């Protein structure tokens, strides 16, 4: 059933009277993510996508990414016409409300293209509400700031509360350029002996969602973009994890770390400058 959303004209009237609350924004985020899913799932099932490269020959974008972002932008234009939009695959759209939507229409494109079922849609109203939708598993992770985050409408399972780094399952990711991966490998070489194990699944947004529900104990990565982490950071913070920015280091751009409070400092010392 389609969520009950205001028409564009209705939203204009509301914007003129008051700022929407976070729960209202969350409903828009949910609808946007779900609207993009059917075509992505259909293309994933038949493996029919056209692909071009972006920053490097290994940094790919498919027609599925582009189609999903068009769908999300169209819904946001109807429901929140005066808000700004930042999307991975499209130009930034300015707004007048002070609200900005940050969209990754297909996080985990390489997984998607290879038939690996670890990819998702991430939609966030920056600092207010966000969703990460995994349509293959039909899992919708959602959070409105000030309210408890949910998984398919129910409270999230508990995030990790580990106190010993040596028992932690830690996720990370790698960039597309060879020199970036070389620098990231040096960090992994420091982390791996200090933890239970490392996971590299290939999708920053889902890694953060899985950390929020305790399927991973912690996550870190340099080089992530706002659309990779906007919804996931809100989820992890809502789940009680400590979220810390990672400074640029050794040729790597800034990043993010999410971990239980008892582990964050020790892990940060291994992966930071």
**Rounded to whole angstroms, how far apart are CA atoms 116 and 257?**
25
The sign one gets for the Cα dihedral 185, 165, 257, 37 is positive
Residue 15 and residue 147 in one domain: yes
pLDDT digits over 117-137, tens only? 999 999 999 999 999 999 999
Helix axis angle for 204-212 and 226-238, nearest 10°, is: 0
| Residue that finishes a domain, picked among 123, 155, 187 | 155
Whole-number pLDDT of residue 19: 80
Residue 191 and residue 233 in one domain: yes
3-state secondary structure of 81: coil
Residue 250 and residue 116 in one domain: no
> Taking Cα atoms as reference points, which of 273, 147, 157, 131 lies closest to residue 215?
157
State the pairing for strand pair 150-151/154-155: antiparallel
Residue 192 and residue 172 in one domain: yes
Q: Which residue has the tokens 């912690």?
A: 218
What is the reported pTM?
0.88
Number of domains composing the chain: 2
CA neighbours closer than 13 Å in the CB half-sphere of residue 161: 4
Residue 191 and residue 96 in one domain: no
pLDDT value at 65 more than 90: no
Whole-number pLDDT of residue 48: 55
Helix %, strand %, coil % of the chain (to 5): 40, 25, 35
Residue 138 and residue 176 in one domain: no
Domain of residue 249, residue span:
165-271
Residue 172 and residue 263 in one domain: yes
Q: What is the DSSP string of 154-177?
A: EEPPPPP----GGG-EEE----SS
* Residue 144: alpha-carbon gap to chain centroid: 15
**Rounded to whole angstroms, how far apart are CA atoms 41 and 2?**
18
Averaged pLDDT, 44-69: 65
CATH, residue 259: 3.40.190.80
**Rounded to whole angstroms, how far apart are CA atoms 188 and 194?**
10
pLDDT digits over 190-249, tens only? 999 999 999 999 999 999 999 999 999 999 999 999 999 999 999 999 999 999 999 998
CATH, residue 53: 3.30.540.10
Kindly state the percentage of the chain with pLDDT values over 90.
77
Domain for residue 2, yes or no?
no
| Residue that finishes a domain, picked among 131, 155, 179 | 155
pLDDT value at 34 more than 60: yes
**Rounded to whole angstroms, how far apart are CA atoms 119 and 48?**
16
| Residue that finishes a domain, picked among 155, 178, 200 | 155
Domain for residue 39, yes or no?
yes
The mean of the pLDDT values for the chain is 89
């Amino acid at each position: 059933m389609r969520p009950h959303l205001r028409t564009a004209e209705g939203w204009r009237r509301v914007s003129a009277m008051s700022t929407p609350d976070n729960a209202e924004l969350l409903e828009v985020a949910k609808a946007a993510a779900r609207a993009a899913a059917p075509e992505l799932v259909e293309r994933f099932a038949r493996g029919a996508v056209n692909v071009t490269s972006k920053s490097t020959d290994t940094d790919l974008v498919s027609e599925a990414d582009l189609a999903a972002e068009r769908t999300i932008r169209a819904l946001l234009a109807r429901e929140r016409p005066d808000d700004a939009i930042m999307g991975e695959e499209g130009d930034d759209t300015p707004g007048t409300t002070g609200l900005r939507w940050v969209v990754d229409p297909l996080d985990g494109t390489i997984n998607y293209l290879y038939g690996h079922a670890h990819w998702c849609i991430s939609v966030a109203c920056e600092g207010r509400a966000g969703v990460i939708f995994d349509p293959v598993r039909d899992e919708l992770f959602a959070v409105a700031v000030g309210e408890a985050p949910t998984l398919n409408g129910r409270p999230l399972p508990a995030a990790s509360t580990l106190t010993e780094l040596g028992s932690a399952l830690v996720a990370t990711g790698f960039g597309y350029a060879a020199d970036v991966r070389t620098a990231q490998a040096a960090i992994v070489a420091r982390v791996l002996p200090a933890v239970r194990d490392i996971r590299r699944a290939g999708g920053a947004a889902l890694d953060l969602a899985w950390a929020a529900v305790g399927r991973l104990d912690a996550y870190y990565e340099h080089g992530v973009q706002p659309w990779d982490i906007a919804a996931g950071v809100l989820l992890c913070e809502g789940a009680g994890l400590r979220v810390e920015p990672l400074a640029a280091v050794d040729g790597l751009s800034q990043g993010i770390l999410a971990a239980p409070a008892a582990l964050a400092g020790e892990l940060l010392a291994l992966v930071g400058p």
